[in-house]
Amino acid sequence: MPTRRGITLVALSCLLWATGRLLGVVEFEYFALSGITLVFGALVFVQIRRFDVAVGRTLSPLRVFVDTPVTVTVRLYNQHRFTSPPLVIRDHVDRWGQARYLAGPVPPRRSLDVHYSAPSHRRGRLTIGPMELACIDPFGLAVRAKRIGTTAEVVVFPRIYPVIPITGAESSLGPMANQRFSPFNSGDDLSLVRPYVEGEDPRRIHWASSARANTLMVRAQEPGIMQQLTVVLDSREEVHSPASFESAVSAVASVLNSSVVARQPVRLLTTNGFSTSFGSSQESLNELLEYLAETTTSKSPISINPDQLSTPTGTTVIVSTTAFSTADLISASPKQHRNALLLTVLFARSSGERTNHIASGAHNVSIVVGPNELFASAWNTTLGYKRLPA
């Protein structure tokens, strides 16, 4: 079929022919006839240039974080005994548009790989495909396309920020909240060290392990006394704007990620009733991040089983907005044990928004993140530098 350029040339040729007939200029008619003949020749060209090409597509990696490019490899295998004509690859990329590349010609019984990068600017499932192979004449006047109906998907995880894990601030979040961090006990068990996160107390650095790893390392909490972490995402539509919900999801993902790196058992709850069991493996973290990649706001009220938050020595982190109130806190965490810790992270939806006051104490700490403030900065400052209220 003719391309847009071919249709334009035919239209202009017809107009030129009519002008030539009206004015009696024979040369105009010759030029018009040449244009129409050129388009007709292009149509014949793409019809006789047969191509029998098998197409395969691979994506790498299949799970990425926001703004991490996805490498798409398209392999063309020429099954014909003659060399294929140059082909145009048109691959649909969800939420972006169409990737368009020129490939070939492909020799007979040979393959050719074409690579391009697909952007991942938003969390969720990124669908790539279907694909279209097109044979175009040298002048771009006619095209013959072959549609490849296969698609592939990539899971785009929320953005992750480097934050201090809860296990790195237990001495300040417990009953001794009026004290600074204490250094860990001496020891050489390298299985209990983890990478240093900017903002942590330098006295926690394990220098022997840092020298061997050639990077700063800190000693993690011993497994025998490891506290469990429950992260609650407030997914109610009434308290969120689109931007604040994305920030909340990213904050939850960051806290879960840093805690799993520190080998702390974590679980995720949402106010719409979703819940998981405790886990500290990379597989369990990937499952949580995959859920967070696709989660949306809900119109349902808070529906959390109180028994799920009833942990004697665990830590609970509730992530919401400044619309979160003390009444919501009681609904979300009605059975707080004497030794349990509660952190409430509140995102301000606008600079002039009024903040509902939630009292802080030795076991109840509020972190308010301003509209122009990074979550990692507010979190690390509270857990790493400031002395928390007693």
Cα–Cα–Cα angle for 142, 143, 146, rounded to 5 degrees? 165
| Residue 286 pLDDT > 90 | yes
Comparing CA positions, the residue from 366, 364, 371, 365 lying closest to residue 356 is 366
Q: Which range, of 10-19, 89-98, 240-249, averages the lowest pLDDT?
A: 89-98
| Residue 314 pLDDT > 50 | yes
Q: Are residues 17 and 29 in contact, defined by beta-carbon separation less than 8 angstroms? A: yes
Give me the mean pLDDT over the 77-90 stretch: 87
Residues 6+ apart with CB under 8 A from 68: 120
Comparing CA positions, the residue from 231, 240, 244, 380 lying closest to residue 314 is 231
Give me the mean pLDDT over the 214-219 stretch: 81
Domains 53-157 and 166-384 share a fold: no
**What share of the chain in percent tops pLDDT 90?**
28
Q: Which residue has the higher pLDDT, 385 or 279?
A: 279
Q: Which residue has the higher pLDDT, 334 or 324?
A: 324
Q: Which CATH class is domain 166-384?
A: alpha beta
Torsion, Cα of 234, 236, 282, 172 (10° steps): -10
| Residue 175 pLDDT > 60 | no
What whole-number distance in Å separates Cα of residue 373 and Cα of residue 360?
21
Domain assignments of the chain as residue spans, ordered by start? 4-42, 53-157, 166-384
Q: What is the pLDDT of residue 222?
A: 46
pLDDT tens digits for range 119-133: 888 999 999 989 988
First to last CA, the chain: 77
Q: How far is CA 347 from the centre of its chain?
A: 20
Q: Are residues 376 and 342 in contact, defined by beta-carbon separation less than 8 angstroms? A: no
What whole-number distance in Å separates Cα of residue 317 and Cα of residue 111?
53
Supply 345's token pair: 């992270």
Supply 333's token pair: 């965490």
What whole-number distance in Å separates Cα of residue 74 and Cα of residue 33?
41
What burial class does residue 46 get, using C-beta atoms within 10 Å of its C-beta: 0-12 exposed, 13-18 middle, 19+ buried?
buried
Comparing CA positions, the residue from 298, 293, 297, 296 lying closest to residue 124 is 293
pTM of the shown model:
0.72
Q: What is the pLDDT of residue 310?
A: 55
User: What Å distances lie between residue 237 and 233, 309, 327, CA to CA?
Assistant: 12, 22, 17
**For the chain, how many residues are written?**
390
| Residue range 53-157, CATH number | 2.60.40.10
Q: Strand, coil or helix: what is 110?
A: coil
Q: What is the pLDDT of residue 13?
A: 92
Supply 376's token pair: 């990692």
Supply 242's token pair: 């689109």
Confidence of residue 190 (pLDDT cuts 50, 70, 90): very low
- DSSP secondary structure of 148-181: E---EEEEEEPP------GGGGHHHHSTTTTS--
